[in-house]
Amino acid sequence: MRKALCTAIVTALLSVNAQAKIDLVTLPNRDKTQLTIYNNEDLTLVREQRTLTLRQGVNKLEFSWANTLIDPTSVYLDAPQHQGKVRLLEVSYPPNVSGSAVWTIESLIAGEVPVEISFFTSGIAWRAFYMATLAPDEKTMRLENYVRVDNQSGEDYANAQTRVIVGQINLQEAVAELARRNPPYGSPYPLSPPAPAPMLAAGNAMMQDEVAPVRKATRSAMVAAEMVAPKEIIKEGLSEYFLYTIEGTETINTGWGKRLLSLDVADIPVKPLYRYDEHRYGTNTQSFLFFKNDTAHKLGDVPLPDGQFIVYQQLVEQQQLSYVGATTSQYIPVNQEVELNLGAAREVKVEPVLMEYHTANYMFDRKGNVSGYDQLQTWQIKLQNNRTLPVDIEIFRHVEHAYWTIENPADIASSYEKFDVDTFKYRLTLPANTEKVLTYTLSLREGERRQVR
């Protein structure tokens, strides 16, 4: 496996004027790796655990991030099992060498030392998508949520625990730009060319002074990352963010994407609905699916990330799935109702027809000119359900202005509702394979007739 982040540990004794010969020792492979992916800022926190073999005294640790999108200013080393006994003394950047740094580490112990190395990288992104499968009667569905992780960072991550963050963060500098900067902390001589001598920075002071925003973000993310239980899907609220931990570990190589299952819940109650609204959808009836992210719908433990929904229906006779529609959904908080617009419905049709139009109730001014009148419109709405299931349907009708009244026959009066000052709707259930006609008369008052109550 290609490893773009080449790491090596060397031991050496420094003379006064020259550096002694360095013995290069390859660093062991990662013991554990954890990725925490923040999507909106192209930011991923990588935490890896390795076991270093250190000698007592001064050790040299070399990092190379060439051909990756790792931010070298964010690299941090810690020995949690040996606090105070392993100390980073300085970070230096060899001259005329791009993408490489040498850490000087002082160790009070000799032998194997477990360490944790963390850093930020860009180039790793995630997106959620959902597969919903409706039961044949369309009263329940199975909902599967997948997270796809794409790695274009230039670095392979084997057996990595993957966590994704839902929420917004803000960075002062993009990690991708920090990864390409040379020297990593910027030139100390803005008005003249860089000096040929190696750039040497005291590790702690340099990181605190130059990259305080990045270090603060790293610390916050690392603290949030502590509560991890393996082999479970953990979803935790972290202030304005939400953390999803995907079960198990995965190998995510650079240039590859991987789909990970995050949610699989069966028998979720749903309500299909068809809606006709010329102002919003044109002349096509739209198919909708409603459910709620709450415990009554076998959900509600966590918010659902934004993503694409693809809806199918289970066909009993053919033992197959039938495509229903697809849409995208925004972030869904707990207890919020979800409304999925699945597009135009081919088997449920609505056709409004103006059957009659005339004017009446004229008013005249002192000069005999018409100053007001009523428009009387008689409409028919032809409904057609060609499905083998009954459907619930809403029909929205818009009026030219707020001065109107309506007459509904007794058989549809209970289906009528005034929606707002210039909109009304009908809601009814249309049996399978049936047609129905709604008729109503609309009166619109014009001119001085609007003053008549």
**Do 25-122 and 348-451 have matching folds?**
yes
| Residue ranges of domains in the chain | 25-122, 348-451
Measured CA to CA, the distance from residue 109 to residue 111 in angstroms comes to: 7
pLDDT at 34: 95
Measured CA to CA, the distance from residue 252 to residue 37 in angstroms comes to: 13
pLDDT at 165: 85
Show Cβ contacts of residue 271 under 8 Å, excluding neighbours closer than 6 positions: 289, 290, 291, 392
Q: Percent helix, strand, coil in the chain (nearest 5)?
A: 10, 55, 35
pLDDT at 225: 41
Fill in the amino acid letter for 36.
Answer: T
Residue 316, judged by CB atoms within 10 A of its CB (0-12, 13-18, 19+), counts as exposed
Fill in the amino acid letter for 155.
Answer: E
pLDDT at 262: 84
pLDDT in 10s for each residue of the chain, 453 residues: 445 455 554 544 333 333 433 444 446 788 999 999 987 778 999 999 999 889 999 988 887 888 899 988 888 889 999 999 998 888 888 888 888 888 888 999 999 999 999 999 999 999 999 999 999 999 999 999 999 999 999 999 999 999 888 766 555 555 555 555 565 655 444 444 444 444 333 333 333 343 344 444 444 444 444 444 333 445 555 545 678 888 788 899 999 998 888 889 999 999 999 999 999 999 999 999 999 999 999 999 888 988 999 999 998 776 789 999 999 999 898 999 999 999 999 999 999 999 999 999 999 999 999 999 999 999 999 999 999 999 999 999 999 999 999 999 999 999 999 999 999 999 999 999 999 999 999 999 999 999 987
Q: Let me know: does 31 contact 113? Beta carbons within 8 Å.
A: no
Q: Let me know: does 211 contact 222? Beta carbons within 8 Å.
A: no
Q: In what side-by-side order are the strands of the sheet with 416-420?
A: 337-344, 286-292, 271-277, 391-398, 423-430, 416-420
pLDDT at 303: 87
User: How far from 252 is each of 35, 42, 48, 121, 258, CA to CA, in Å?
Assistant: 10, 17, 14, 14, 7
Helix segments in 203-317, DSSP class H = 203-210, 212-224, 278-281
pLDDT at 177: 59
pLDDT at 317: 72
CATH number of the structural domain 25-122: 2.60.40
Q: Could you tell me the two tokens for 383?
A: 């409904």
Strands (E), 285-369: 286-292, 307-315, 320-329, 337-344, 348-364
Per DSSP, the three-state class of 232 is: coil
User: How far from 167 is each of 120, 135, 216, CA to CA, in Å?
Assistant: 18, 33, 18
| Residue keyed to tokens 């991890």 | 228
CATH number of the structural domain 348-451: 2.60.40
